[in-house]
Structure 1
Amino acid sequence: MSTHKTFLVISALGRDHPGLVNDLSRTILEQGCNIEDSRMTVLGGEFAAILLVEGKWNTLAKVENALPELERSLGLTITSKRTGERERNTDKVPYAVDVIAMDHPGIVNNLAGFFAERQINIEDLATNTYAAAHTGTPMFAVHMTVGIPASTHIATLREEFMDYCDGLNLDAVLEPLKS
């Protein structure tokens, strides 16, 4: 008996209004599928979602067939793509990276470049801006999860990362991911 799961990745983007998550999740549930993982947020005035939907091949087909009507009724742009299970890479160690700095262009690109040069995969990334307490200074925060090759000397990497961030005036933390 196969335990191979089948998935559908759905992305949705459109003007934000109440009820979007309810309608989107209800449609998936009514077709006999389950949301296994998701990210949903409002960016500017736009609702943005990316969902990993799990189901049998035929129930995923029902979701795919329901998407055009859902797109029309909710005023969203929806795309989808079939995918398989994620390969678990046992030679990668998950680490959390948190960076805070005064907001300025290029922070994400600089961080991505640091990790890309070292063949370290960014597996999850979220950013946000906010006003600093008391001063109102525009601040920028980055939280990411990276997969560090097990062969990497962590103390050396941490030292290189901290020096790199100090050079860019970024406050940073690199620590093992806590479950």
Structure 2
Amino acid sequence: MSTKYVIAVVGNDRPGLVELLASAVADHQGSWLESRMSVLAGQFAGVALVQVPDEQAAALEKKLHDLSDETLRLTLAKAGAREPARPHRTACLELVGHDRPGIVQEITRVLREKGVNIDDIVTERMSGAMSGGHLFRAVVELQIPDTIELDRLRDDLEGLANELMVDIHVRELLDEGA
């Protein structure tokens, strides 16, 4: 049997951080299953899903605890069984507009009110060459319950887009097996 862990890491960016984590996992006969990692404002931040044999779990926990210090913070959580998926469709929301406070909060509020789950979100702030200001861009992968009409969700988000003065596009992602 094996134990899966979600490892969250934040620390001063420097060469070798991913290798440090990967070595700790490999030294305990573990596998690196998936991850999302990035440098944000000089800080390295990320999450990884790893798996180790049960007899190595306690040793890996200790090793990762020992790696944490004032420049590198690691949080470890046993991966739980995911709740059975509700019937849903997968969609992609893309947003671009002039940056201003509250964009993420307003979009996520509408999604929460509709019962839409966020599977992945990537955001960035970039220079708006033509406008001289900053643009905000988000790409969000959504799980939309089958009980929600995609057109109705689009209407609600487009109404919000008008208020926020951003462009929002939602498109359904087709199953790869279809």
What TM-score does the superposition give when structure 1 sets the normalisation length?
A: 0.88
Distance across 2 between alignment mates of 1:152 and 1:158: 11
1:79 partner SS: strand
Q: Does 1:65 align with 2:62?
A: yes
Q: What residue in structure 2 maps to residue 147 of structure 1? A: 143
Q: What residue in structure 1 maps to residue 152 of structure 2? A: 156
Unpaired segments ≥5 residues, structure 1: none
Alignment equivalent of 1:94, drawn from 90, 97, 100: 90
Q: What residue in structure 2 maps to residue 132 of structure 1? A: 128
Q: Quick check: 148-157 or 105-114, which moved more?
A: 148-157
Q: What residue in structure 1 maps to residue 52 of structure 2? A: 55
Identity among equivalent positions (%) equals 28
Alignment equivalent of 1:36, drawn from 33, 57, 62: 33
Shift of 1:5: 5.9
What TM-score does the superposition give when structure 2 sets the normalisation length?
A: 0.88
Distance across 2 between alignment mates of 1:142 and 1:149: 21
Unpaired segments ≥5 residues, structure 2: none
Distance across 2 between alignment mates of 1:5 and 1:174: 39
Distance across 2 between alignment mates of 1:105 and 1:19: 35
- Closer, same or farther: CA 146–8 of 1 in aligned 2, 3 Å: same
Shift of 1:135: 4.2
Q: What residue in structure 1 maps to residue 173 of structure 2? A: 177
1:144 partner SS: strand
Q: What residue in structure 1 maps to residue 22 of structure 2? A: 25
